[in-house]
Amino acid sequence: MKVCILIKNSKYGHDYEVYSETEAKTVDLEKEQEKWHDYLRSNGTEPTEDDYLDWYGDRTPFVTVVNGGKR
């Protein structure tokens, strides 16, 4: 499966969301960044220029293989 990863950058850490190639084309980056800033504010952090969203690989889809392995 091809996926696109939206990275949520912050000076305190990172988060991410995974989208299918089709879903990624519908993402409004400004709206998602505002949601990210609202989340940070709800945790007591006022967003700065260090708190932004960006596509991993400039929204270029890539294939990843997940191997659960044995426990």
pLDDT band at 71 (very low <50, low <70, confident <90, very high): low
Based on its alpha-carbon atoms, the radius of gyration of the chain, rounded to whole angstroms, reads 14
Which H/E stretch holds residue 9? strand 2-10
Q: For residue 61, what pLDDT is reported?
A: 67
Residues 7-62 have pLDDT tens digits of 998 887 788 898 888 898 899 999 999 999 999 999 898 999 999 998 887 666 66
- The structure's pTM equals 0.73
Q: Which of 67, 45, 64, 47 is nearest to 56 (CA)?
A: 64
Residue 37 identity (one-letter amino acid):
H
What region, left, alpha or beta, does residue 8 occupy, with left being phi > 0 and alpha being psi -120 to 50 degrees?
A: beta
